[in-house]
Structure 1
Amino acid sequence: MASFSVFVAVAITILGLLIQGSSHPQLSPDFYSDTCPDLLPIIQHQVQLAVAEERRMGASLLRLFFHDCFVNGCDASVLLDDTPTFIGEKNAVPNKNSIRGFEAIDAIKAAVEEACPGVVSCADILTITARDSVVELGGPYWDVKLGRRDARTASQAAANTSIPPPTGSLDQLITSFHAQGLSVQDMVALSGAHTIGLARCTNFRNRTYHEKNINGLFAREKQESCPRTAGHGDNNLAPLDLQTPTAFDNYYYKNLLVYKGLLHSDQQLFNGGSTDSIVHAYAENPDAFYSDFIAAMIKMGDNKPLTGTDGEIRMECRKVNY
Structure 2
Amino acid sequence: MSVSKQRADKELPAADISVDEFIGFFSQKNISLEVGVALTGAHSLGIGHCQNFEKQLQPVIDPTLSPSLTVMLQMICSSPSLSDETFMTNDATTFLFDNCYFIDILNGREHLKIDSEISRDQRTLPYVVAFAKNQKWFFNSFLSGFMKLSSHKVLVGEEGEIRRECRFVNSY
TM-score, scaled relative to structure 1: 0.46
| Aligned ranges 1:1-322 → 2 under 5 Å | 81=2, 88-90=3-5, 92=6, 156=7, 159=8, 161-208=10-57, 210-227=61-78, 229-231=79-81, 233-305=82-154, 317-318=168-169
Q: Contact 1:177 / 1:183 at 8 angstroms: preserved in 2?
A: yes
The one-letter code matched in structure 2 to 1:266 is D
The number of residue pairs the alignment matches comes to: 168
Q: Aligned with 1:268: secondary structure?
A: helix
The one-letter code matched in structure 2 to 1:205 is E
Q: Contact 1:164 / 1:176 at 8 angstroms: preserved in 2?
A: yes
Greater relative contact order (CA < 8 Å, ≥ 6 in sequence) = 2
Q: Structure 1 residues 203 and 304, CA, compared in 2 at 3 Å: closer, same or farther?
A: closer
Q: Distance in 1 between matches of 2:105 and 2:124?
A: 12
Deviations 1:66-93 (A, max 9, x none): xxxxxxxxxxxxxx64xxxxxx313x2x
Q: Shift in Å at residue 177 of structure 1? A: 1.6
Q: Contact 1:195 / 1:241 at 8 angstroms: preserved in 2?
A: no
Q: Aligned with 2:20: secondary structure?
A: helix
Q: Aligned with 2:80: secondary structure?
A: coil
Q: Distance in 2 between matches of 1:171 and 1:313?
A: 34
Q: Structure 1 residues 300 and 290, CA, compared in 2 at 3 Å: closer, same or farther?
A: same
Q: Distance in 1 between matches of 2:54 and 2:160?
A: 41
Q: Aligned with 2:87: secondary structure?
A: strand
Deviations 1:18-74 (A, max 9, x none): xxxxxxxxxxxxxxxxxxxxxxxxxxxxxxxxxxxxxxxxxxxxxxxxxxxxxxxxx
Q: Aligned with 1:190: secondary structure?
A: helix
Q: Shift in Å at residue 198 of structure 1? A: 0.6
Q: Contact 1:181 / 1:303 at 8 angstroms: preserved in 2?
A: no
Q: Shift in Å at residue 161 of structure 1? A: 4.1
- Structure 2 unaligned residues grouped into runs of 5+: none
Q: Distance in 1 between matches of 2:162 and 2:51?
A: 37
**Percent same amino acid among aligned pairs?**
26
Q: Contact 2:119 / 2:128 at 8 angstroms: preserved in 1?
A: yes
What is the alpha-carbon root mean square deviation over aligned residues?
A: 2.8
Q: Distance in 2 between matches of 1:268 and 1:225?
A: 23
TM-score, scaled relative to structure 2: 0.82
